[in-house]
Structure formats: C-alpha cells, structure tokens
C-alpha cells in the first residue's frame, strides 16, 4: 500500500475516440490483474477514509483496495458486496470524480485519486469470472411475501436483500425487461446490457419472481398489491420529463431525452422502432439542451448514430454543470461541440418540425444553494443555431403518484415525490418507498442505498410482527 508516490494514477485502457464513435461497445477495457493490484496499492489507507464518507453506500473502500492489492480477490469481493448489491454497475456509471475519488486524500494532495471505480469493477468482474457469485441460498423461508414495484436499481437492490433474509419477493415493472433506466435509459457504451441481465437472471435463479408489462394504476392497483403481499415497496422512479418553457417548446419536433434513449436502447436489442424517423439522429444536426448526465448520454448516442453534427446547449459553464466531468471529456473527444453559457430563448420551426434554436447568451452571477453560480441574461447577446433534431434533457420529475395509487396513495411532498420517514416508511402501514420517487431524479448509487435501507426496514417490521404474535400467544387467556 501507499504506493501513490511511485505509481502514477492509471485508468483501464480507453478505446480511441474514432473507434468508439462507430459502435455502442463499452469504452474501457477491463484491468488486467497486475494493473488492478497496482492501482489498488496506491491507496494511502487513511485513518479517516474520506472516500468512504464520500460514497452514499459507505463502502469499505480502503479494506477492499488493500485486499485487491494483496491479490486476495475473493475476500475483496466479499467485502465489496457486503455493502453494495451492484458493485460492478456502480464502478461503471457512478460519477466517482464527484463522490469517492473526488474525496480521496491523495487526490487532494496532488497525486491523483486512486481509481476506485475501475478497481471496484475489476473486483466484481473477477468474481463473476471465477464463479464466486452464485444464486442466493436461503437458510430459512420466513413465509412473508413482499411486492416490489419497479425493477430499477432501488427495486433490484431491495429484492436481493429481502430474498437473502428468506422473504418471498415479486417484482412488478411497466417495461418488458427488468432493469429500469439501467436498461432503457443508460446507453451500452456506459453500461452493457449483459451486465444488468446477469444480475436479474441471478435474482430469478434465487427465487425472485418478475411480473413485467405490469404498470401500477393500469394493470394492478396498490390495494391489490397490499392484499397479495405482507409489505409493498414503491420504487417506481421518475419518468416524467421536466418541461422546457420557451416559445416553440410545444412542437412535436422537440424530443424528450428519455424517448430518444429508450428508442436507441430498444434498437440495440434488435427491435423495430415505430417512430424511427423521428428518433434517429443519422445525418441530422442534433442540438441537446441540458448539462446533466442524461444530456451526455444523448449527445454521445447521437454521435454513434451518425449525426452530421452534435451540439450541447448549456446555460452555465463547464465548472458549474451538474454532469460528470469525465463524461464531458469523453463527449468532446468523440466530436460533441459544447455551447457554454447558452440558454434556449425560442425553438425555431412549426408545430411538427424544428429547424433550430435561438440562443440567449448568459453570464454567471452569485452561487445558488448548491454552490453553483447562477446564470444571468446578457442583454442583446443572442444567436441562432441550426438543427433538425432538438432533444430536451432537463431531467425528470415524478409522475402522478396519487392517480397511480387509485387516489388512496401515500402522502406526497410539494414536488410530487413520496414522503417517507428516514427508514423508508410511507404514511400507509406496510407500504415503503425509495429511490427517485422519494429523492427526485438522482444517482443510481443513491437508489441502491434506498433499496437496501428499505429492505432492512421491511425485514425488521416483519420480524417485529412475528414477535408480537408470539407474545400474544404466550399471554394467558382472560
């Protein structure tokens, strides 16, 4: 350990930009065993591990880095999987530069952070390769049944932890494949679908049932689920696109980011897309409005579809954008042009098609509550950008939860998300919630944490029910 003074920071080999522009394959090669061990050995084994506190899951990062550096890979995997149900997924898609690696002490000292995400992926991929990851073997069935609504990261994480405790679990999801936005929102070049399918197949082999093409409020009601199961966990995510409000935003030519990404991912499964011409970037001038990770997914997807030009329009500058710095760098390498400090003033076109965006140039004012400097309008600074495919990637909001729950759903926040206690309980006894439907659109790692936390609460509540029943049985009859 402590080899950061002699070994430079190094990530797995990245495919050349010209090569990766032509396909949807993941852009990084896996670490070889020596490189993985060497990078893990750069850890300084801090007395106070800020990497761990910077991780929403509080992963025992220094411990599994030390084990990986010593070649004790099975132990490293056991340590990693103790706190995360999807280490190889987090290793691929977490914005480590804003979380664990951004908090790394040797990053702050100028030596470059330990490549935590890459080592995390390396450890679990080794575990899959060596056959250490097997279906869950339940020691004792509890007899309790839990319904999980949503097969995204929160739902999958909860299902795994609940099944480990011996509960019967059924997952319901609106889509025809499990995985939620891991499958339909995130492109293959960041997360290959086989990585997610491997996880859902393991759950099936462990006895978890999947009821797909089943949407809450349409195909099944909350009351029905409560009658079928001893507990229900709502992990339905946030799928409603945040609206663009400038003139022209009502045009059918404006494409919501999720529609575009789902079409691309379905195309990757070999499916025929009904609205192919509208949702295909080949040969077109693409403008993506937004600066988060979803916007990066859109611009990089458009590049791979063969767009003539791809521009990302964002109202702040690079330093104040919410998306991953690495994703921006990847996009620039692949040919995306960024128009910083630029906001849409109006969309050009008619009710069905668009021809471009009128742009308002912006400056930066005082920081907002999140510490990012607020954009301010520069009077008289306008410009026109030509584009025949305009995509709005402004984030997601909660859908109408109360309607989905038949008018008798849990108490909501003013944002329309589900209000919960710190232990994921809603206002309805036996109904729990977590992930984006509680937090609002957020990171996959936070959804996994919520799913794991909810599973712990559900298990504790079900076991408390058993204890209460046993106590009543022991009480003398009056």
- pLDDT at residue 420, rounded to an integer: 97
- pLDDT at residue 1, rounded to an integer: 82
CA–CA dist 189, 272 (Å, integer): 20
Can you tell me which residue has the tokens 């998300």? 417
- State the pLDDT confidence band at 422, using cuts at 50, 70 and 90: confident
pLDDT digits (tens, 9 = 90+) for 186-245: 999 999 999 999 999 999 999 999 999 999 999 999 999 999 999 999 999 999 999 999
- pLDDT at residue 472, rounded to an integer: 77
Q: How many CB atoms lie within 10 A of CB 249?
A: 15
The model carries a pTM of 0.95
Q: Which residue has the higher pLDDT, 370 or 48?
A: 48
- State the pLDDT confidence band at 473, using cuts at 50, 70 and 90: confident
pLDDT digits (tens, 9 = 90+) for 51-94: 999 999 999 999 999 999 999 999 999 999 999 999 999 999 99
pLDDT digits (tens, 9 = 90+) for 304-334: 999 999 999 999 999 988 888 899 999 999 9
CA–CA dist 392, 318 (Å, integer): 19
| Contact of 418 with 234, CB cutoff 8 Å | yes
- pLDDT at residue 478, rounded to an integer: 63
Give 361's contacts (C-beta < 8 A, 6+ positions apart).
341, 342, 378, 381, 382, 383
Mean pLDDT of 111-135: 97
- pLDDT at residue 477, rounded to an integer: 65
Task: Please report, rounded to a whole number, the percentage of residues in the chain having pLDDT higher than 70.
Answer: 100
| Contact of 100 with 55, CB cutoff 8 Å | yes
Mean pLDDT of 133-157: 97
- pLDDT at residue 384, rounded to an integer: 96
Can you tell me which residue has the tokens 């003398």? 476
CA–CA dist 303, 264 (Å, integer): 12
pLDDT digits (tens, 9 = 90+) for 241-299: 999 999 999 999 999 999 999 999 999 999 999 899 999 999 999 999 999 999 999 99
pLDDT digits (tens, 9 = 90+) for 446-472: 999 999 999 999 999 999 998 887 787
Helical (H) or strand (E) element with 255: strand 254-256
The H-assigned helical ranges of 391-443 are 401-404, 436-439
Structure tokens, 300 = 């990089």
> Which backbone phi and psi does 438 adopt, to 5 degrees?
-105, -45
Structure tokens, 318 = 């690079």
- pLDDT at residue 371, rounded to an integer: 84
> Interior CA angle at 147 toward 236 and 150, to 5°?
20
DSSP lists the bridge partners of residue 373 as: 367
- pLDDT at residue 94, rounded to an integer: 95
| Contact of 362 with 378, CB cutoff 8 Å | yes
Q: Which domains does the chain have, with CATH numbers?
A: 17-130 (1.10.1060.10), 145-238+398-471 (3.50.50.60), 243-395 (3.50.50.60)
| Contact of 66 with 60, CB cutoff 8 Å | no
Q: How many CB atoms lie within 10 A of CB 178?
A: 25
- State the pLDDT confidence band at 385, using cuts at 50, 70 and 90: very high
Go through 76-100 and write b for each residue having 16 or more CB atoms within 10 A of its CB, e for each that does not.
bbebbbebbbbbbbbbbbbbbbbbb
- pLDDT at residue 74, rounded to an integer: 98
């Amino acid at each position: 350990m402590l080899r950061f003074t002699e070994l430079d920071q190094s990530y797995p080999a990245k495919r050349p930009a010209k090569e990766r522009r032509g396909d949807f394959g993941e852009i990084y090669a896996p670490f070889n065993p020596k490189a993985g061990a060497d990078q893990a050995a750069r850890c300084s084994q801090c007395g106070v591990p800020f990497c761990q506190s910077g991780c929403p899951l509080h992963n025992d990062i220094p411990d599994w880095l030390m084990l990986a550096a010593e070649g004790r890979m099975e132990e490293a995997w056991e340590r990693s999987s103790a706190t995360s149900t999807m280490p190889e997924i987090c290793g691929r898609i977490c914005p480590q530069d804003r979380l664990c690696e951004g908090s790394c002490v040797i990053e702050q000292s100028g030596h470059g952070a330990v490549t935590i995400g890459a080592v995390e992926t390396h450890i679990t991929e080794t575990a899959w390769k060596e056959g250490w990851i097997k279906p869950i073997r339940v020691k004792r069935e509890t007899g309790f049944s839990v319904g999980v609504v949503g097969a995204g990261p929160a739902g999958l994480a909860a299902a795994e932890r609940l099944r480990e405790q011996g509960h019967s679990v059924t997952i319901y999801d609106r889509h025809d494949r499990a995985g939620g936005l891991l499958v339909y929102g995130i492109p293959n070049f960041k997360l290959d679908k086989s990585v997610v399918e491997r996880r859902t197949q393991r759950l099936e082999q462990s006895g978890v049932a999947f009821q797909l093409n089943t949407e809450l409020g349409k195909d099944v009601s909350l009351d029905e689920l409560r009658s079928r199961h001893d507990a229900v966990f709502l992990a339905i995510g946030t799928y409603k696109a945040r609206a663009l409000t400038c003139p022209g935003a009502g045009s059918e030519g404006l494409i919501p980011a999720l529609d575009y990404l789902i079409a691309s991912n379905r195309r990757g499964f070999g499916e025929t897309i009904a609205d192919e011409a509208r949702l295909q970037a080949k040969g077109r001038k693409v403008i993506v409005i937004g600066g988060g990770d979803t916007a990066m997914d859109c611009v990089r997807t458009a590049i791979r579809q063969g767009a003539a030009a791809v521009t990302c329009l964002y109202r702040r500058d690079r330093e104040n954008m919410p998306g991953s710095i690495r994703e921006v760098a990847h996009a620039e390498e692949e040919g995306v042009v960024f128009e910083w400090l630029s906001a849409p003033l109006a969309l050009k076109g008619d009710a069905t098609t668009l021809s471009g965006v009128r742009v308002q140039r912006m400056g930066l004012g005082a920081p907002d509550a999140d510490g990012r400097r607020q954009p301010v309008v520069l009077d008289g600074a306008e410009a026109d950008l030509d584009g025949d495919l305009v995509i709005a990637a402004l984030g997601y909001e909660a859908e109408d939860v109360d309607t989905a729950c038949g008018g008798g759903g849990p108490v909501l926040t003013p944002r329309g998300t589900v209000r919960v206690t710190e232990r994921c309980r809603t206002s309805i006894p036996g109904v729990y919630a977590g992930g984006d439907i509680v937090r609002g659109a957020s990171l996959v790692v936070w959804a996994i944490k919520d799913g794991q936390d909810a599973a712990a609460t559900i298990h504790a509540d079900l076991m408390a029910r058993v204890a209460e029943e046993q106590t009543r049985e022991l009480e003398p009859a009056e």
